[in-house]
Amino acid sequence: MRKKLLLLIFALLLCNFIGAQTYTLESKWVNCGNNVQLLDPYYSDGVSFEWTGPSKNGKANGNGIAIKYKNGKFESKYEGSYKNGIREGKGTFTHADGSVKTGTFVKGQLTGNGTMTTEDGHSYEGEFINYRMYGKGTLHYANGATFVGIMTDDAPYTGKFTNYDGVVTFIQKGMPVEQIRESKSSYSPKIGQRVTEYFDEDWNRCQPKQAAYYRLVTYEAPNRPKGAVKDYYITGEIQSEQYPIYIDYDDENRNFLEGEQVFYYKNGQIERKQQYYNNRINGPVISYYQDGAVESEAMFDFGTPNGDALQYYRNGKIATVSKFEHGLLHNNKYLQITEDGMVFLVYNENFIRNHEAWEFQGQNGIVQVNDAESISMQASPERTISGGIYTGFSPMSENMIGVVTNQRNPGQGIVTFLFGFKDWDNTCAFSIAGNKYQFTYRKNGVTVQSDDWQISSHIKPDINQLTVVNSGDKITLCINGEPVKEVGRIYFDGSLCGVSLYNPSSQSIVIDAAQLVVQEVVNPQNIPQEYLPEEKSDPNAWKGNGTGFFLSPQGYIATNYHVIDGANTIQVNFTRNGQIESHPATVVITDQQNDLAIIKIDDNAFKAMSAIPYGILSRTKDTGSTVFAMGYPMADVMGTEVKFTDGKISSKSGIQGDVRVYQITVPIQPGNSGGPLFDMDGNVVGITSSGLNRDYFKSENVNYAIKASYLKSLMEACPQEISLGENTSISVAKPSLTELIKEYKDYVVLILTK
209-244 tens-digit pLDDT = 999 999 999 999 999 999 899 999 999 999 999 999
At 229, which helix (H) or strand (E)? strand 229-233
Distance CA 509, CA 494 (A): 29
Percentage, residues of the chain above pLDDT 70 = 93
Residue 265's pLDDT band, with cuts at 50, 70 and 90, is very high
Distance CA 665, CA 680 (A): 16
- Give the long-range contacts of residues 109-114, CB within 8 A, separation 24 or more: 109/41
Residue 735's pLDDT band, with cuts at 50, 70 and 90, is confident
- What is the structure's pLDDT at 11? 26
Residue 51's pLDDT band, with cuts at 50, 70 and 90, is very high
Sign of CA dihedral 548, 551, 555, 561: negative
Percentage, residues of the chain above pLDDT 90 = 60
Strands 343-348 and 328-329: unpaired
In 3D, which of 612, 701, 738 has the Cα closest to residue 688?
Answer: 701
The model's pLDDT over 70-110, given as tens digits with 9 standing for 90+, comes to 888 999 999 999 999 999 999 999 999 999 999 999 989 99
Is the Cβ–Cβ distance between 707 and 651 less than 8 Å? no
The model's pLDDT over 139-185, given as tens digits with 9 standing for 90+, comes to 999 999 999 999 998 999 999 999 999 999 999 998 888 889 887 88
Distance CA 51, CA 60 (A): 8
- What is the structure's pLDDT at 193? 94
Residue 189's pLDDT band, with cuts at 50, 70 and 90, is very high
Is the Cβ–Cβ distance between 206 and 196 less than 8 Å? no
Residue 182: HSE in the Cβ half-sphere, 13 Å Cα cutoff: 16
One-letter amino acid of 23: Y
Would you call 621 helix, strand, or coil by DSSP?
A: coil
- What is the structure's pLDDT at 694? 46
Would you call 532 helix, strand, or coil by DSSP?
A: coil
In 3D, which of 576, 583, 596, 545 has the Cα closest to residue 747?
Answer: 576
Domains detected in the chain: 28-177 (2.20.110.10), 194-345 (3.90.930), 355-522 (2.60.120.560), 544-753 (2.40.10.120)
